[in-house]
């Protein structure tokens, strides 16, 4: 099973700042089969990025994903108030696993 480790566990930033979230896999993720989801309290997750770097439909361009192999990054270029949430990475190249999440909170 591919284990995904996200860092940091919690990230405290202010609106307008840049957020950098990391996701490291225990083994190489095939075909960049890596997605990012956003989840707000009491809501279902929302797909942000798939294929490591492709934004899902309707996702603002301040969200960008990059990486390959075992190291992946989600960047939010300028934080909006609605971006404060929990973010999960997921690999779907070998079965399906999620990272433990990064909580992005207002500083």
Residues of this chain that interact with another protein (CB under 8 A) are 33, 35, 37, 39, 43-47, 50-51, 54, 56-57, 88, 90, 92, 95-101
State the DSSP code for 31.
G
> Nearer to another protein by C-beta: 16 or 58?
58
End-to-end CA distance of the chain: 35
> Nearer to another protein by C-beta: 84 or 87?
87
> Minimum CB separation from another protein for residue 54, in Å?
7
Q: How many angstroms separate the CA atoms of 91 and 5, rounded?
A: 11
Q: How many angstroms separate the CA atoms of 1 and 80, rounded?
A: 35
State the DSSP code for 61.
T
> Minimum CB separation from another protein for residue 15, in Å?
25
> Nearer to another protein by C-beta: 5 or 20?
5
> Nearer to another protein by C-beta: 3 or 15?
3
Omega before residue 8 within 30° of 0, cis: yes
């Amino acid at each position: 099973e591919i284990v995904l480790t996200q860092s940091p566990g919690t990230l405290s930033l202010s609106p307008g700042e840049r957020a950098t979230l990391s996701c490291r896999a225990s083994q190489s993720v095939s075909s960049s089969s890596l997605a990012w989801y956003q989840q707000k309290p009491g809501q279902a997750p929302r797909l942000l990025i798939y294929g490591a770097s492709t934004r899902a439909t309707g996702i603002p361009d301040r969200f960008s994903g990059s990486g390959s192999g075992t190291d992946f990054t989600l960047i939010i270029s300028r934080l909006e108030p609605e971006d404060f949430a929990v973010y999960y990475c997921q690999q779907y190249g070998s079965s399906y696993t999620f990272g433990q999440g990064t909580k992005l909170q207002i500083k």
